[in-house]
Every structure is written in C-alpha cells, then in structure tokens.
C-alpha cells in the first residue's frame, strides 16, 4: 500500500473514532492544549509536518514522558499514564492481567490507552511485550519453536509467515510493539540465551530478519502491523565465557564481522526499534556507548527508528544500585531514546528533567528522541486507531496459526544419528515412550512461555510430543508411556526417550559447569536400554548438550530443540510423514570443555555446523566419527564438471574507511537455476592495498591477484540465496571489478 493510500485509510479511521466520541487534544484554554484542527491530528498531512507540529506544542515534561516506559504492574493505576504523560507501558515476562485471556488483555490495553488519550495533547502510548516465539505471555496463543530451531529450519519465508501470525495474535490483544527478533550470534553454548539465537554464524540471523517484515508488514500501519525490535545491540552472544550480561572482548573488525551484519540487514528492512544489550564491549557498557549507538547505528547504518534500553539497564552503568543523574545523562546522550524503567519511572522523570535543566542533556537530544518515537507512533496509525482491533482477537491460537507452528516444528528437526535405519518408525510397531519431556508442554516450549523463566507442566494449550505420537501413529494402543521408563521390556519394537533440559531464560540458564543430561534422564535411558530394543532419543533442549558419552548406546538421535506447543510436528518426522530437513545452526561439542566451539576454529566437533541427515539419500548408518574406508577406491571417479546452470555474482562494498585503511564486505549471490556447492571470488588489488584479516572464507594472494574461497559452512547456496565475507585492508579504499565462479 502506498503512503497516500495508507493515509486515506487512516483518515477514514480517524473520522470513525471521532463519530464514536473520541476527541484528540484537550479542551480549549487548557495548558498545552491543541485546537481540534491541529495539524498533527490530520492524517493527510506529511509525517514530518505532523511530528514538527506536535513537538512544537509539547512541554519538557511531555517530552520526557514520551521517553519513559513503565511496567504495567508498577503503575499505581492507569491514571499514572495521564499524570506523568508516559509514552509507553510494557509487560515483562509473566506480567499478565488477572485473567490471562485474549479478551482480558485487550480490555487492559484499551484502559491504558484511554488514559494516554486523556492527556492534554492526546498522544497515544505504545505497549511493548516480549513475544519472542509467538505471543508467549498469553495462555492459548500459538507458541512457535524458539529461534535456534528456526535457524535449523533455515527457511526465511517460513520465518516471515511466523512473524505475520505472531503480529496478528499480538494485535488481537491491542499490543503494538514486540521486543523481537533477537539477532544475537551465539558463540558459546554455556550462554543461557543460546536458544534465542538463530545460529552461531552471522548469515543465519541475517537471513531470518524476514521476521521483521512479518511483524511490521511491508510498511508500518497496515493490518495488524506491530513494531519490531532488533535486539540486543551489540555482541551479546559473544561474551567471554558465555556469561549473560558479560563482556564481549573483540576487536572492532571482529565485532563488525560477526555481530553487526544482522543489525545492518534489520535496518535495511526498516526495523522500527533497536534494543541495547546489557553487555559490555571491551569493558564499556553498551548502554552508555555513544560510538556504537549514535555514530555506528544511527549514523553509519542510517537507523531512523528509536533506540530503547533493556529492563532497568541504565541503572547498571555505574555498577551500583539506584540510578543517578550521571547514568541517565550518559545513556540519553549516548543515543538511547526511550528508557525502560519498569518501577522507578517517577524518579527517572524527575532525574532526567534535572539533567536537562542543568544543561547536561541538551534539548536537541530530547527533541531528537521525541521525533523518533512520535514518528513511529504516527506511522503505526496509533493517533487514528488507538484501540484494539478485535477482529484479530479470534486468531489467537487459531488452527491456521497452529498449522504454521507444526510446519515450523517438523522443518526444525535435525536428525543427527540413525543407525540401522531405525527411523522412521513403522506404524505397525509397538512403541514405548518415556522421558520427562514426552508429555510436558512446558518443557517443550522452554523459557519465555507464560512466565519469564518458563516452567514444566501444562502451562498452556497445545499438543505434547506424546499426544502427537498417538495421533500420527493412527492406533494409539500401539503407544505405551511411562515417564521414568518402568514397564519397558523386549516385547516392544522400539523405545523413544524424550529427554533434555527443563525451562530457563536469561541468567538462570547460564551453565558454568556440566552441560550433560540430568540424573533423571540417565536413569530413564538406562531402563530403556536394558530391554535390548532399539533406542531413539529425542532431545528437547535450547542448545547442544554434552552427550558424546551416551551416544554410542543410542540407535537414533533427533534434536527437537524447543518446539513450542505443536508437538505433532516432532511426531510427523519420527513416523516419516515428513523427512527431516533441518541442519545444525551451531557446532555440536564433543565435550563441555571445548566451549566455546564454533565453525572454523579447528576444534574436533561431535557434529559440525550444517550437519543433518534425512531418510533418503544418506548413509543408512551415520556415525559422527566415521572410520576411514579400509579399501578405498584406487581409481575414484573424477570430479564432475560444475553444473552449467550454476552461476554467481559478487557485490563488493566498502563498509568503512579511515586514514590508511578500510573495511569491505562482499556478498556472493547464486543467480543461476541450480544449487551451488562452492564458490570463489577473484579481483585485483590496486597498488598499495593489502588484506590484513578476512573472515567467513579463506584467501590466497598472488602478486596483486586475490582469490577468496568459501568457508566450510557457507558454500552451499540454493538459487537466489547469498553468503558474504569481509576483510580489513591497508591502503586507500576502492571498489575493484570482481568475478565469481562456482564449483
């Protein structure tokens, strides 16, 4: 839809609201009141003109209020929104209305929005929530696989459909701002947020920024358009030791190469907001990092949305409890536009006011923050359609959305071992199912499900893996279940153990020591193995676990990740209705002592990045440590000629330049009709240019001629797919002619 068409639609919505008795602006004569015909209330006016007009009418307190976000549970009453001119309210994990139903959410949202509209200028609030794998705070919503599973599926189009379904469910409760997607690149599986990452290499989260388009639509303000948030900027997946909120100790070149690409792509997709990370970069807290926020994100990348802090994160800048004027000034001057102060919003408002009045925070910075926030509110159509669009309320947990969820589950399954072809299961087989996660919707959904940390048990509505097995088997009498594995004997044809992690989220999920199975899982496996029948292990977890010591006793291993509410998708793969197509988005450790382990670091992995088997065209007895062929063919067939339908291009871009050097990025794209199994890019360096370091590939130099070859994990490209590599160099920046070849 064009902007003109959208404005016409918004104008019609405004007229309808006025007919219903809504009036924007205060009564004549009230301080700061806008006349009924104020320019900013006219959706036919240009966006910038509306922002300018509204900004010119706002007092300092109204501007500071727009920069303040409070937790719904901390409000003394909705009238606090009116009194303090709050620009935003949020629900933290597990912060729900007393009755956790879609209708109650919509009613709560509307009550808060009416309080915002009661302010003199009638500026609507924007409500934020962590809908990170579906509308996961709402009981009955569709819970999709966590991001690590979607990275395994590696299907950007599917992820965009998930974003659209999530947006519809979020919009059905009135909420208009989602703190997703997480674009972190998880480099250490000890990190408790590993499952929030699409993968360990930047290409995966970069590709999955399609979620942003799904959430927002092609442009903001369309049907069920929900503002997306790229988080957590920058480098939170690369902290030393995988410590949550820790320190990412990298050179700027490494930070840019590994952690920046997904955010660059998010900005190019028009993401509306960016959330700053709790973590530090080389000892400096990100929430006070002007270079990364203002110079890099807003300047170099051209981000024109608004930047929001994380939960009470400004209070962490000086390392002492209780935020100070210095912390507030540092964060706002660094470029943070909206500050998430869940509980101390009144103190924050008075503190920021004092810093502005003392001249330590310039009014220009306050006005810039307000311009960014107000622009997104106008673009979303909140001034014209401030209340819940209840036509979407019925989509929450709908059959159509659950079908997308089930598709996502089966595409995310990664078959890691299948000795003797024990999978897929035969429908005539007698199957014994055991394990703590076989019949537990909470375990299979993981953290950020109904509550912040999540919990085991029937926390919401959905299909457990056991229920899915009974459904797909056709004859449920062929399925026997006991959680601990008691009653298993040799009369069964196969045993299926559904084991792994129990729910956790940030902080609580960090694993400093062992990363293996718990004692309950080990006991269950021992009982099943004692029967002598083939053993299939379904691992429900938010990351790779240390299972090398047990793997030899298992006939098959399926990584199910955290599939969410649609456990039938796991059963679809186990019974072969859909062959497994997922591949590892992370390197699977041989032992916890290897952490961090990532592709290309030379460590001996149990399973490499990109590993994944299927039921046809693969080794029937895959082994993560295959023995060398004892009788290799002395005259192997020569390598086939490259597919004539395989073609590629290489787009060379200078990303940054400085006196005596520069940084470049090259995007390789498959422009042919066949898949590419490898690529090379060549160019000639001008005189005086030499490469210092190169990532996401390997290179050779002969004189001035440069050849870059793909890394092990980014050489496979489907038609239209792309990969990228980058480098830093000495000398003057230039853009040479490149050639790309396949094979």
Collapsing DSSP to helix, strand or coil, 585 comes out as coil
Distance of CA 47 to the CA centre of its chain: 30
Q: Which two tokens stand for residue 564?
A: 């969410």
Q: Is 195 exposed, middle or buried (0-12, 13-18, 19+ CB in 10 A)?
A: buried
Report which DSSP code applies to 16: H
Write out the E strands in 258-312: 273-276, 280-281, 284-285, 306-308
CA distance 235 to 662: 21
DSSP sequence for 614-663: -SSSS-SS--SSPPPPSS--SSPPPPPPPPTT--EEEEEEEEEEETTEEE
Active site residue 633: no
629, with CB counted inside 10 A (0-12, 13-18, 19+), is: exposed
Q: Are 587 and 610 in contact (CB under 8 A)?
A: no
For residue 482, how far is the Cα from the chain centroid?
Answer: 35
Q: What is the DSSP letter of 607?
A: B
Kindly list the distances between the CA atom of residue 404 and the CA atoms of 166, 528, 563, in Å, as whole numbers in the listed order: 11, 34, 12
Give the CA count within 13 Å in the CB-facing half-sphere of 412.
36
Give the H or E element holding residue 546.
Answer: none
Query: DSSP string spanning 677-741?
Result: S-EEEEEEPPTT-EEEEEESEEEEEETTEEEEEE-TTS--B-TT-EEEEEEEEES-------EEE
What is the C-alpha separation between 225 and 379, in angstroms, rounded? Answer: 10
Query: Of 310, 439, 555, 572, which one is the catalytic site residue?
Result: 310
Q: Identify how many contiguous H helices and E strands the chain contains and give both numbers.
A: 21, 25
Which of 88, 381, 114 is closest to 224 using CA atoms? 381
Contacts of 164 (CB under 8 A, 6+ apart): 214, 215, 224
Which residue in this structure is represented by tokens 């992370």? 586
Q: Are strands 556-561 and 414-418 parallel, antiparallel or unpaired?
A: antiparallel
Q: What is the dihedral of CA 148, 153, 157, 163, to 10 degrees?
A: -30
DSSP conformational letter for 257: I
Are 495 and 434 in contact, with CB atoms under 8 Å apart?
yes
Residue with tokens 């703590």: 436
CA distance 586 to 147: 12
Rounded CA-CA distance 448/440 in Å is: 15
User: What is the C-alpha separation between 25 and 27, in angstroms, rounded?
Assistant: 7
> What value, to the nearest 5°, has the Cα angle with vertex 295 and ends 364 and 322?
65
Instruction: Write out the E strands in 76-193.
Output: 88-91, 126-129, 177-178
Tokens of 38: 């104020």
Q: Which of 344, 563, 521 shows the shortest CA–CA distance to 434? A: 521
Which residues are 668's β-sheet partners?
Answer: 650, 723
Name the residues annotated as catalytic.
Answer: 310
């Amino acid at each position: 839809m064009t902007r003109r068409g959208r404005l016409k639609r918004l104008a019609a919505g405004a007229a309808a609201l006025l007919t219903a008795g809504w009036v924007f602006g205060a009564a004549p004569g009230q301080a700061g009141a806008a006349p009924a015909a104020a320019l900013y209330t006219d959706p036919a006016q240009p966006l910038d003109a509306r922002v300018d007009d509204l900004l010119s009418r706002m007092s300092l307190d109204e501007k500071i209020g727009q920069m303040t976000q409070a937790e719904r549970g901390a409000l003394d009453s909705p009238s606090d929104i009116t009194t303090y001119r709050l620009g935003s309210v949020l629900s933290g994990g597990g912060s729900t209305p007393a009755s956790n139903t879609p209708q109650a959410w919509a009613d709560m949202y509307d009550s808060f929005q009416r309080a915002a509209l009661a302010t003199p200028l009638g500026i609507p609030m924007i409500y934020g929530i962590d809908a990170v794998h579906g509308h996961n705070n709402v009981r009955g919503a569709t819970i999709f696989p966590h991001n690590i599973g979607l990275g395994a599926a590696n299907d950007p189009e599917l992820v965009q459909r998930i974003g659209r379904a999530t947006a519809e469910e979020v919009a059905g409760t009135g909420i208009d701002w989602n703190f997703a997607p997480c674009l972190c690149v998880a480099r250490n599986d000890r990190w408790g947020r590993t499952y929030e990452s699409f993968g360990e290499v930047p290409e995966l989260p970069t590709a999955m920024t399609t979620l942003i388009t799904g959430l927002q639509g092609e442009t903001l303000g369309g049907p069920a358009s929900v503002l997306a948030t790229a988080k957590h900027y920058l480098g939170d997946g690369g902290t030393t030791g995988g410590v949550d909120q820790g320190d990412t100790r990298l050179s700027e070149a490494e930070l840019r190469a590994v952690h920046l690409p997904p955010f660059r792509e998010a900005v190019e997709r028009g993401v509306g907001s960016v959330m700053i990370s709790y973590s530090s970069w080389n000892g400096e807290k990100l929430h006070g990092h002007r270079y990364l926020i203002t110079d890099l994100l807003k300047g170099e990348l051209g981000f024109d949305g608004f930047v929001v802090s994380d939960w009470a994160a400004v209070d962490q800048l000086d390392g002492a409890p209780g935020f100070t004027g210095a912390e507030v000034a540092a964060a706002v001057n660094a470029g943070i536009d909206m500050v998430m102060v869940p509980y101390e919003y009144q103190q924050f408002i008075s503190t920021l006011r004092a810093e502005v009045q003392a001249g330590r925070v310039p009014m220009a910075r306050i006005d810039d923050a307000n311009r960014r926030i107000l622009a997104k509110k106008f673009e979303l159509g909140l001034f014209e359609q401030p209340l819940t669009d209840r036509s979407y309320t019925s989509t929450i947990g709908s059959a159509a959305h659950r079908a997308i969820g089930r598709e996502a589950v089966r595409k995310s399954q990664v078959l890691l071992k299948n000795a003797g072809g024990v999978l897929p299961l035969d429908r005539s087989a007698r199957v014994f199912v055991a394990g703590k996660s076989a019949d537990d919707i909470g375990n299979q959904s993981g953290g950020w499900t109904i509550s912040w940390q999540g919990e085991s048990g029937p926390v919401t509505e959905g299909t457990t893996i056991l229920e899915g097995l009974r459904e797909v088997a056709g004859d449920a009498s062929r399925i026997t279940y006991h959680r601990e594995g008691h009653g298993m004997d040799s009369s069964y044809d196969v045993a299926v153990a559904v084991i792994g992690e129990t729910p956790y989220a940030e902080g609580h999920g960090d694993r400093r020591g062992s990363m293996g199975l718990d004692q309950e899982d080990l006991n269950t496996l021992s009982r099943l193995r004692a029967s002598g029948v083939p053993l299939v292990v379904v691992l429900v977890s938010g990351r790779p676990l240390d299972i090398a010591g047990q793997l030899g006793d298992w006939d098959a291993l399926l990584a199910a990740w955290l599939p969410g509410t649609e456990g039938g998708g796991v059963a679809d793969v186990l019974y072969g209705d859909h062959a497994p197509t997922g591949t590892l988005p992370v390197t699977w450790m041989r032992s916890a002592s290897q952490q961090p382990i990532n592709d290309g670091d030379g460590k001996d992995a149990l399973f490499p990045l990109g590993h994944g088997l299927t039921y046809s065209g693969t080794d029937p007895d895959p082994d993560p440590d295959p023995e060398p062929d004892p009788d290799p063919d002395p005259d192997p067939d020569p390598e086939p000629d490259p597919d004539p339908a395989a073609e590629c291009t290489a787009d060379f871009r200078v990303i940054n330049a400085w006196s005596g050097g520069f940084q470049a990025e090259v995007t390789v794209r498959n422009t042919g009709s066949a898949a590419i199994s490898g690529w090379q890019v060549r160019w000639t360096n001008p005189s005086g240019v030499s490469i210092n370091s190169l990532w996401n590939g390997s290179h050779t130099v002969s004189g001035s001629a440069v050849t870059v070859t793909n890394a092990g994990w980014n050489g496979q490209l489907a038609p239209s797919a792309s990969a990228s590599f980058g480098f830093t160099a000495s000398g003057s920046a230039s853009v040479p002619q490149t050639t790309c070849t396949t094979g």
